[in-house]
Structure 1
Amino acid sequence: MPTLAVLTAAGSGTRLGMDVPKALVELDGLPLVVHAARRLCSSGVVDAIVVTAPPDLVDHVGAMLRDDPGVDRPVRAVAGSGTRQASVAAGLRAGLAGADAAPGSGPVDVVLVHDAARPLAPPSLVRRVVEAVRAGHAAVVPGLPVTDTVKRVDPTDPDDPVGAERVTGTVDRSVLRAVQTPQGFDRALLERAHAVAEHRAGDEAVAATDDAGLVEDLGHDVHVVPGDPAAVKITTRHDLRVAELTLQESR
């Protein structure tokens, strides 16, 4: 049965300091969203992609992906919304409606949610996530072990002259994982998670920062599979330079 990928690309990328939305910032001559879409397609386990784009760039982003020779799956672009949660919900609705209506494809049963801000997530990682969902884990996220020592603090003294915070303990990092995307879900579970949390979607202060969090709020188990260092999120110009180096090394 088909797998749908929702690719989020509607963010402004303010911290990158560019004059274009983050997903259209170029890495090695190609926009980040193109890198991400190519790798989803190269995985061999994605059947259709819906990309969420800034409202005034929906047609541009959709045409760019459909015209790219490395994107060989059906692509639909829709307008993103004010929060990531709302954007994913919009992409999910549009993508499922389009994929389910496609002749001869059957209904979608697995949904991936991926960020264009992680453009170098390799095809092997995409396959690993989908395989875990199809093996019976209805919510799957890739993650890497946390290597830094992590302290728990008590930030209750805003008047400290140097902004110091009192340490209350050291967290056991062996049970911590830094989560990446794509995240994979059983279609029905993800639809239910978004429906239950719809009232939060429009408020950045309470909206979910990832879809696994919505599933956790339902009381449903989420499983972690090994992530990949290449799937780093691009937030700053330094991250962009690191991604450029990663591409060079891969060659």
Structure 2
Amino acid sequence: MSSAAASAPTQTPRFAILVAGGSGTRMGADRPKQFLELRGEPVLLHTLRRFSEAALGVQECIVVLPAAQFETWQQLCTLHHIKLPHTVVAGGESRWASVRNGLAHLNAQPAGIIAVHDGVRPLTPLSVIEATYAAAAVHGAAIAAVTPKDSVRGLSKEGSYALDRSRLRLVQTPQCFELGLLRRAYQLPELSTFTDDASVVEDLHPIHIVPGDYRNLKITTPEDLLLAEALLG
């Protein structure tokens, strides 16, 4: 699909990569989790709509999907009359490769702030998205995260030990970066320790943390979908 600039201006150009490569295995569903219905619409549509809000001023949204899912997404766009401007890019064998493919689509862009977001996080408050973009513009790299609600323990050969949860964070998305910084990070080889974009970037640049939101859940299990339905209701 063709892309179009959002109407709201921003001091620094903003872009977004929405990574949606899930298979739905843990959901036990008959379709990938990004295509499951949430309040009658695909989960991915809810996510795309968040980043398409004019107030955010995102110039281009890139949706990364497995190539085999392009036709399904096109059918859903037709069925649900989705006219939000976005570009669909084929994913890779891993999340790292999928983000790299999405990033390559922006090779012509000289600068900006780019958000990488899970396509199955459809409830992210706009305030969290805006705060993460703004923090990345100042610090170069910023991610949304929340403090664990439960007690946390580490594992050892002898058993386990208590951890200070006030010093721990549960990482969410969006994760926002200066465009050149993220490009440099993704020129490095892929490592097994890369679990998110912050882990790809952190050897090059400190990661600033922005307060996330407990409602910013990732749709992974059937219980997540039920909770998302309730929160939207």
> Structure 2 counterpart of 1:75, which letter?
H
Residue 162 of structure 1: aligned partner: none
Matched residue SS, 2:58: coil
| In 2: Cα distance, 1:150 partner to 1:143 partner | 16
TM-score (norm 2): 0.87
Q: Measured at CA, do residues 23 and 118 of structure 1 come closer, stay the same or move farther in structure 2, by a change above 3 Å?
A: same
Residue 41 of structure 1: aligned partner: 52
Alpha-carbon shift at residue 61 of structure 1 (Å): 2.5
Whether the 8 Å contact between 2:111 and 2:178 is mirrored in structure 1 is no
The answer to whether residue 88 in structure 2 is matched with residue 77 in structure 1 is yes
Task: Please provide the CA RMSD for this pair.
Answer: 2.1
What per-residue deviation string (whole Å, max 9, x for no partner) do you get for residues 122-159 of structure 1?
A: 2221111111112x1111001111121111122x4xxx
Whether the 8 Å contact between 1:51 and 1:78 is mirrored in structure 2 is yes
Alpha-carbon shift at residue 59 of structure 1 (Å): 4.4
Alpha-carbon shift at residue 65 of structure 1 (Å): 5.2
Residue 223 of structure 1: aligned partner: 208
| In 2: Cα distance, 1:75 partner to 1:46 partner | 11
2:165 to 173, 184, 201: 173
Whether the 8 Å contact between 2:47 and 2:123 is mirrored in structure 1 is yes
Q: Measured at CA, do residues 186 and 61 of structure 1 come closer, stay the same or move farther in structure 2, by a change above 3 Å?
A: same
Alpha-carbon shift at residue 76 of structure 1 (Å): 0.7
Whether the 8 Å contact between 1:142 and 1:182 is mirrored in structure 2 is yes
Q: Which aligned pairs between 1:127-166 and structure 2 lie closer than 5 A?
A: 127-134=130-137, 136-154=138-156, 156=157, 166=159
Q: Which structure has the highest helix share of the two?
A: 1
TM-score (norm 1): 0.81
Residue 196 of structure 1: aligned partner: 188
Whether the 8 Å contact between 1:84 and 1:208 is mirrored in structure 2 is no
The answer to whether residue 98 in structure 2 is matched with residue 87 in structure 1 is yes
The answer to whether residue 223 in structure 2 is matched with residue 238 in structure 1 is yes
The answer to whether residue 213 in structure 2 is matched with residue 211 in structure 1 is no
Q: Measured at CA, do residues 189 and 63 of structure 1 come closer, stay the same or move farther in structure 2, by a change above 3 Å?
A: farther
Alpha-carbon shift at residue 13 of structure 1 (Å): 2.1
Rg larger for: 1
Whether the 8 Å contact between 1:7 and 1:51 is mirrored in structure 2 is yes
> Structure 2 counterpart of 1:213, which letter?
S
> Structure 1 counterpart of 2:222, which letter?
R
Residue 103 of structure 1: aligned partner: none
Residue 12 of structure 1: aligned partner: 23
Matched residue SS, 1:231: coil
Q: Which aligned pairs between 1:97-116 and structure 2 lie closer than 5 A?
A: 97=107, 100=109, 107-116=110-119
Residue 160 of structure 1: aligned partner: none
Gaps of 5+ in 1: 101-106, 157-164, 201-205
Whether the 8 Å contact between 2:193 and 2:199 is mirrored in structure 1 is no
Whether the 8 Å contact between 1:3 and 1:108 is mirrored in structure 2 is no
Alpha-carbon shift at residue 225 of structure 1 (Å): 0.6
> Structure 2 counterpart of 1:44, which letter?
L
- Identity %, equivalent residues: 40
